[in-house]
Amino acid sequence: MTLQEITAKMKEGASKKTAFGNTVKFSTDQGVVHIDGMQNPPSVSNDDKAADCTIKMDFSDFADLIGGKLDGMTAFMTGKLKIEGDMGVAMKLQTILR
C-alpha cells in the first residue's frame, strides 16, 4: 500500500464516522496523514498540520496497522508506535479506525 492508498482508505472510513472533537496526525518516514475530527464527518488529508496527538511510526508498520495486521496496543507496547501529545486522543482512535 502507498501513502495515497492508505489516505484514500482512511477517507472512506472517516466518511462513515462522526466528529470526535480532536485532531490526530500519523507521521511516517514516507509522509503524514492528518485527521481533523473537529469536522463532521472527520476530514483526512496528507497536510502536515499541528495536531492534538501525533503518532509516529515506520511506514510499513503504519500500513500493517491500517490493514489490520498490527494491533495498535501491541505496536505501542513493542515500541513500533510512539505517541506525542494527548494520549487520550490516541485511545479514541481504536474506535475511529475500525
The mean per-residue pLDDT over the stretch 54-67 comes to 95
Per-residue pLDDT for 94 more than 80?
no
Name every residue whose Cβ is closer than 8 Å to that of residue 5 and which is 6 or more positions away in sequence.
Answer: none
Name every residue whose Cβ is closer than 8 Å to that of residue 74 and which is 6 or more positions away in sequence.
Answer: 80
Q: What is the mean pLDDT of the chain?
A: 92
Per-residue pLDDT for 92 more than 90?
no
Per-residue pLDDT for 28 more than 90?
yes
Look at the block and give the residue holding cell 494520549: 87
What per-residue confidence (pLDDT) applies to 95? 64
Per-residue pLDDT for 62 more than 70?
yes
Question: Was domain 3-93 assigned CATH 3.40.47.10?
Answer: no
Note whether 11 and 46 are within 8 A (CB).
no
